[in-house]
Structure formats: structure tokens, C-alpha cells
Chain A
């Protein structure tokens, strides 16, 4: 799998998916559009399985003593935990598990499955946070000049407005979701938005360091991860702000952004694997033979 073979279909999907949603809503009803949304969710899960295999390959580029090994181990752990909890969501979305409408009267096991296990997403996000922190430390450990600028702190402050806005619109948080919303989901989403803001803030720092490299294939890896982290945070914001106005639209926007998130992770993992071969190819020197193909 090469970045070139993934990039073009992925970019095409960014136009095809909104077009498919629009057409479905125009020619059918919003129920049909939500069905399309569920298919997109299934496709996103499948992409994440491929991402995991590529992340393992990216991790193998590093030996145990390299700082990159820890970063990619954390990324692999983040993806595994996320996939596990996506499996739970799939059973609820496709009605393999049917929770009762009122979770207060559900069995303790069902309550745990539906309500408590959603916080596993938060655990996976915290693993992503840890990966970003190790990346920042890696940049700093080089001793080269990688510094945040004043405007980065302004961007971070703006990003922390997202959880504030979400908190203000918290009454919207329980309105929409890929599965029927319950009264506990608003708390989870508020927590998720706070973790999302933390991820996005760290992404600002990584983005600055990547920019200071002035190009190169390593910067390309981290720029792509930054996009993934930002859209993940944006998906919660979309849900919080759009739910009241247009619930199906909010769900579609959330899923679309998660599709972008999965696609960016796929590209980032492939870019990491391709860091070295690209050197030889562009410098006119013979190619490095570090690929595991």
C-alpha cells in the first residue's frame, strides 16, 4: 500500500460523501440519509482496521531504543483501544445488541455496555495525547531550534473556546448520535470535547514544529496527524452546535469528520513508512531499501 494509491481515492471521497448525503436527503427522507450515515460508519471502522496494520508497520521502522518506537507504540495502542470501542458501537448501531429505551431499567451489564464502555473512547484519546506529548519531547530532544510562537498560544486559547461553546450548548449534546441518545451521553460528550481541545492544543504545537522544518517527509507525517487530531475535535463541536438546528445533519457531519480522521491516520502511517524511500527518489540518489513490501 502506497500513499499515492490511498491519497487520490481519499480526496475523491471527501467530495463524494457529502454529495451522496445531499442526494439522499433530496430524493429520499432523513431516515434514509441516516442509513447512509451508518454505512459510512462501517466504512470508517474498516479503514481504521487498515490504519492499525499500517501503524504496526510504521512502528517497526523504529527499534526499541528509538523515541519514535514509544510514539508509534502509543499510536498503535490508541488505535487498538479505539477499534475495540468502535466494535461496541457497531453492535449498537446495527442492532446486534438492543438496549432497552430506558437505561435506568436495564440490567447492570447492559448499562455497563452502553454507558460505561463509551468512556473507553476517552481512554483511547488519552493515549493519542500521550503520543503527541512524546512527539513534542522528541522534537525538543534534538536540541535544534523548535519553538512555539506567540500566536500559537492564541490559537490554543481559541481552541479552548470549543469546550466552552460546547458547555454553553450542552443541552444539544444528548440530541443526536449514531445510536439513540440516552440521558448519560451529554456528560460523555462534554468530557470528550475537553479531551478533544487538549488534543487540538497539542496538535498546534506539533504543527508549529513541523512548519519550522520547512518541508520534508517527516513534517508531512506530523502535519497529517495534526489534521486528524483537529477534525476529531471538530466532530464534537459540529455535533454540539448543529444538533438542535438539524439533527441528521449533525450526525452526518460528525461521521464525515470521523471519516476524514481515519483517512488522515491511514495516510500518516503510510507516510511514516515511506519517509526513507522518498529520500533516495527525490535526491536523485539510489533508493533506500527500507520498505517492508
Chain B
């Protein structure tokens, strides 16, 4: 059974929203990794995300759209090490915009 459609009446709406939210959170984590991996590599992208989530007290598997700007700003110095300040700023800006339907 598809979990998205559990409970059609009564409790259905809140649970449906909860499932949607959960999916979005997982999607956000994956999207960030998908975005950083081609540059930083799989391990560094994952470690960096864990490192900054821990520093900002954000559960790594519960990154929300609203966390992205803060996460992006805190990641900037480390990104600058490899990408240069200009590159890091650009990547940070794009990370901050990831939750808003991608980069335009």
C-alpha cells in the first residue's frame, strides 16, 4: 500500500502532510548531497553536511528549507578553501536557493 494515501477520512490530511513533509526533508538532504558531491566528492560532501548540521544543531536527516540559508552561510569558509571566496559565495547562494525550487 502506498503510504501517501493512508487514511482517506478523518486523520488522513495531517498524516498525508506529515508524509509529504518527511519526503521533502529527505529530498532536501539528498538534493544537498547531489549538489555538493560532483565538486567535493561523496565522502567530503557527506562529512561537511554532518559537520555543519552538528554545529548548527540541525539533525542531518531533518534539514528543512528554512535551514538552508544559515547552513549555506556557515559552509562558506570551508567551501572557500577549495573553490575560492567568489566560488564559495556563489555555491552558498545557490544552496540557500535550493529549497525554493532550485537555482534560477
Contact = CB atoms under 8 A, between A and B. Distances in A.
Nearest to A281: B38
Most buried by A among B38, B43, B82, B94: B82
Contacts of B86: 61, 63, 290
B31 to A, nearest CB: 9
Interface of B is mostly: helix
On chain B, which size bracket covers the interface? 20 to 34
A55 interface: no
B80 interface: yes
A218 B35 contact: no
Question: What class of interface size applies to chain A in its complex with B?
Answer: 20 to 34
Given A63-B86, A290-B90, A218 B39 contact: yes
19 contacts: A61-B86, A61-B87, A62-B85, A66-B80, A143-B51, A144-B47, A144-B78, A213-B41, A214-B41, A214-B44, A216-B37, A216-B42, A276-B91, A283-B37, A285-B94, A286-B103, A286-B104, A288-B87, A290-B90
A218 B87 contact: no
Q: Is the interface of A mostly helix, strand, loop or mixed?
A: loop
Interface of A: 61-63, 65-69, 138, 141-145, 212-219, 275-276, 278-279, 282-286, 288, 290
A213 B39 CA distance: 10
Contacts of A143: 51, 78
